[in-house]
Amino acid sequence: MKILYTIYAVIFLCSITGKAQENKLIADGAELKLVADGFEFTEGPAADAEGNVYFTDQPNNHIYKWDVNDKKISIFMEESGRANGLFFDAEGYLYAAADKYSELWQISPSKEIKVLRDNFRGQRLNGPNDLWVAPDGGIFLTDPFYQRPYWNHSKQPIKEQRVYYMTPDKKGFFMAADSLVKPNGLIGTPDGKSLYVADIEDNKTWKYSIGKDGKLENKSLFTEMGSDGMTIDEQGNVYLTGEGVTVFNSAGEKILHIAVDKEWTANVTFGGKDKKTLFITAMDSLFSLEMNVSGK
């Protein structure tokens, strides 16, 4: 596998609306840069408190770490449960949507793995895909069904493809939303009051209010665009993926498109020491882009 530790410029194609120019989301003179390539399919970027960025090579069953200090990439975990989405909590635990056995993992800083959930009411989960940890420690998890070649079954275990919620004490596990075709990416607001959920097969992204005990309420259409992974910045702008990265303000207005010269852009997050570097996973590669805004 070829990994390019020295970041270098690649073609940067970016269309920006007037609103984006006013917001100046991208740092002056910044270009999309290739951090590393040679993977099979990159996914799930997540930054820890120091700004180190972890991401998965899902088909190869690895989690990698980009180091914020030396800018190098190393293998963090070789057997990752075929992890897809990742997210850190405030205590430094890494959570993984590990779909090899349809599990939700908690990974300690010392790499100890705890399986938090693998079923709903006795039925195997369809295939945990992405997750977001709320400020209080509660976890929202999407559970679509994508047939995997490493499964021994081909039938969808649970008829509905849902969003689930795990309580902060990690004891309760409830259905949070089920009126979706195929939920995929999701991200919440830093205040823990709202959750965005992308219904990738219905080509829509929805916004919910987070009620008591993680109940999702007041479902409203955010934009008629689905997404794979997603993130949010300090201004409340939401970053959706698929054909590059498309940014919407909190009112659901498109304000920026970042073109990525890959067939598919899977996921995105903010990392680096000041959380002002946008990291993008796309096919066999990891890209970065310096921003004027930080992630949350």
For residue 133, tell me if it sits in a domain: yes
Q: Is residue 1 part of a domain?
A: no
Structural domain tally of the chain? Answer: 1
Torsion 216-221-222-223 (CA) sign: positive
Q: What is the mean pLDDT of residues 94-114?
A: 98
Residue 129 sits in a domain whose CATH number is 2.120.10.30
* Residues 126 and 156: beta-carbon distance below 8 Å: yes
Give me the chain's average pLDDT, please.
93
- Condensed to tens digits (0 to 9), the pLDDT of residues 211-247 reads 988 989 999 999 999 999 999 999 999 999 999 999 9
Residue 2 inside a domain? The answer is: no
Q: Between the CA of residue 172 and those of 48, 115, 210, 235, what are the distances in Å?
A: 25, 14, 16, 32
| pLDDT score of 296 | 84
Is pLDDT at 19 greater than 90 in this prediction?
A: no
Domain membership flag for residue 160:
yes
- Find the length of the chain: 296
The residue-averaged pLDDT of 248-266 equals 98
Q: Looking at the domain assignment, is residue 3 inside a domain?
A: no
Quick: pLDDT tens for 268-286: 999 999 999 999 999 999 9
Range of the domain at 25: 8-290
Strands 13-16 and 254-259, bridge-based pairing: antiparallel
In a domain, 66, yes or no: yes
Question: Interior CA angle at 128 toward 38 and 170, to 5°?
Answer: 120
Q: 183 lies in a domain?
A: yes
List the structure tokens of 200: 């990738």
Is residue 266 within 8 A of residue 62, CB to CB? The reply is no
- Give a yes or no: residue 295 inside a domain: no
Q: Residue 2: what pLDDT?
A: 43
Instruction: Please return the burial class of 212, using the count of CB atoms within 10 Å of its CB with bins 0-12, 13-18 and 19+.
Output: exposed
Assessment of whether the complete model's pTM goes beyond 0.85: yes
